[in-house]
Amino acid sequence: MKNTPQIRFLPTKVNFVQAGEGVPVIMAHGLAASLHDWDELLPELAQNGYAGYALDLLGHGDSAKPDELSRYTAEGVFAHMCAWIDSLELNQPAIFIGHSLGGYLALQYILRFPGKIEKLVLVNPFYSINQLPSALRLFFRQQLLNTSLIERTPYWLFRALIDLSSLTFGSSTSTKYTLPESVRYQTAVDYKRASPNIFNIPRTLQDLTPSLPSLNLPTLVFWGTNDQSLDPRSFSQLVNSLPNARGVSLPAGHVPHQSHPGEFNQAVLDFLGKDK
């Protein structure tokens, strides 16, 4: 039973799951998501000799959701994550896997703590405000003061929007949706239960572009070419900016790790197993 994920809580209200034994793998999800982003990957890691750790970021899932708007900054979320990583008391360099906002946090962690991470996997990662469409860029530049509309939005509306985007965007498949029912359900649940204050986080993110050439660790960048949230061209630009990176793309949307878990998991395991 050692590979069965175990949900754990810290006094600081960091909710996370852990499964497996071996080289530690840290996993961070994107904005308005949760540790369930890694439901398909975590068992695969455990079965292949890795210790997987996935958390709910501040304001997300079952982690702390403070009322103060000032807590919802990139630095606040980063500090919350770092305290959790420190609590794990890892005795060897880890692997970091981050999606979207989680990719930004992974890059920041490596920039601030060189040597603590030996390999990096980025999935449709955020690293510059210029990746956003112009309308989203304008929205995220403004501080979100009134969150009542978000709080009152019912689950069914979130779900309808997710179903619509799954129909419209992503890879062409013979099925009706590019995301399975379980993922669409969980995505809507995660949006609804997240603190609405999390939408202030993007406006506080730094542009990491100037720092990218200094990151020389082995990196896999995995992305969907039909991403509607971040410019897909930015991911190949990221690969070119990182000295030791390779890229893998699929005809998918913003969550290729959930729409194409088989291809994603295999790519990650192949990458991690290289020179193991």
pLDDT at residue 207 above 80?
A: yes
Q: How many beta carbons lie within 10 A of that of residue 18, not counting itself?
A: 18
Helix-strand-coil percent breakdown of the chain, rounded to 5?
45, 15, 40
pLDDT digits (tens, 9 = 90+) for 67-100: 888 899 999 999 999 999 999 999 999 999 999 9
What's the pLDDT band for 13 if we cut at 50, 70, 90?
Answer: confident
Residue spans per domain, the chain: 6-143+197-273
What's the rounded Cα separation, in Å, for the pair 189 and 275?
39
CA atoms of 263 and 21, how far apart (whole Å): 23
In terms of Cβ atoms closer than 10 Å to its own Cβ (0-12, 13-18, 19+), residue 55 is: buried
CA 91, distance to chain mean position in Å, is 24
Q: What token pair was written down for 144?
A: 């979100």
- pLDDT tens per residue across span 168-189: 444 444 567 788 889 999 999 9
Through-space distance between the first and last CA atoms of the chain, rounded to whole angstroms: 25
According to DSSP, the β-strands at 23-28 and 6-9 are unpaired
Mean pLDDT, the chain, whole residue set: 88
Mean pLDDT of 191-215: 93
> Distance between CA 212 and CA 131 in Å, rounded?
15
pLDDT at 169: 42
CB 56 within 8 A of CB 15: yes
Q: What are the DSSP calls for 155-198, one per residue?
A: HHHHHHHHHHHHHHSS---SSS-SS-HHHHHHHHHHHHHS-GGG
Average pLDDT for 140-144: 64
* pLDDT of residue 203 exceeding 60: yes
pLDDT, tens only, 28-49: 999 999 999 999 999 999 999 9
From CA 234, how far away is CA 133, in angstroms rounded?
Answer: 12
Phi and psi, residue 15, nearest 5°: -90, 135
User: Is residue 102 within 8 Å of 29, Cβ to Cβ?
Assistant: yes
Domain 6-143+197-273 class, CATH top level: alpha beta
Whether the predicted pLDDT of 144 surpasses 70? no
Taking only the tens place, the pLDDT of each residue in 237-268 is: 999 999 999 999 999 999 999 999 999 999 99
Is the pLDDT at 2 greater than 50, yes or no? no
Give 28's strand partners: 98
